Amino acid sequence: MPRYRICYSKTGPARYISHLDLVRELERAMRRAGLPVAFSGGFNPHPRFSFAAPLPVGVEGLAEFVDVEMTHPVTPRELAGRLNEALPPGLAVREVVEVPAGTPALAAVLDRAVYHVEVDGDALPGMLPAGAVERFLAQEKIEVTRRGKRRDIRPGLLDLSVMSRDGGLALRLELKTGGAINVRPEEAAEAFFRSAGLAVDAADMRITRAELHWGGPPRP
């Protein structure tokens, strides 16, 4: 069955859609668009969707990915056009490519993600000290607590840099994702602010997933 890789964005009100709700909304959107989605067999058929990585509720995604199987071929252009007309505000298809049979599932090959974390000036208790980023990255271990357990996120922290200081602070985080090591953007950002001596409330962090990366082609 033909398989298509859809790159989409999830912003605005759609960022509050949970992953499970997104799966249901995408199924309905495909029906509204009249697209021939393939379903699994059995008593409770599921649409054959395969997502790269669930996005946490509240986090915007600029270039998310899902593979979709169809019962018969459609052109990527038509798929994108028809689906876009059936998606609610905040969900938008950016690009579609057909992927050959046998391509591994996105979730299996997903490797890293780039996040942007923005904090407004009025939520920052002070200036970011000089050298804070270098000192943070120079650590051999960065311990965070997740569900009561201490864990070291340093191996999963690939890069951190300051993107902008205009009217606040914008960080770029590159994190391992999928597979064995999975670092959450908010825990990496919190650890950074802690090490920089800035008390920033998690409620003041606006997080966006800007990129997803995996090993090898194809990608739109």
Q: Enumerate binding residues for other proteins (CB under 8 A).
A: 12-14, 16-18, 20-21, 24-25, 27-32, 39, 43-45, 57-58, 86, 88-90, 120, 202-206
Peptide bond into 218 cis (omega under 30): yes
Smallest separation (angstroms) from other proteins to the CB of 33:
8
Going by C-beta distance under 8 Å and a sequence separation of 6 or more, which residues neighbour residue 105? 50, 67
Smallest separation (angstroms) from other proteins to the CB of 120:
7
CB 5 within 8 A of CB 101: no
Tell me whether residue 123 or residue 198 sits nearer to other proteins (CB atom). Answer: 123
Q: How many CB atoms lie within 10 A of CB 46?
A: 11
Smallest separation (angstroms) from other proteins to the CB of 191:
18
Smallest separation (angstroms) from other proteins to the CB of 209:
15
Going by C-beta distance under 8 Å and a sequence separation of 6 or more, which residues neighbour residue 170? 116, 117, 118, 119, 162, 163, 164
Tell me whether residue 84 or residue 103 sits nearer to other proteins (CB atom). Answer: 84
51 bridge partner residues: 66
Provide the 3-class DSSP secondary structure of residue 212.
strand
Smallest separation (angstroms) from other proteins to the CB of 154:
26
Tell me whether residue 154 or residue 206 sits nearer to other proteins (CB atom). Answer: 206
Q: How many CB atoms lie within 10 A of CB 187?
A: 18
Q: Tell me the C-alpha distance between 171 and 193, whole Å.
A: 11
Tell me whether residue 29 or residue 99 sits nearer to other proteins (CB atom). Answer: 29
Tell me whether residue 29 or residue 133 sits nearer to other proteins (CB atom). Answer: 29
C-alpha separations of 13 from 17, 26, 160 in Å: 8, 15, 28
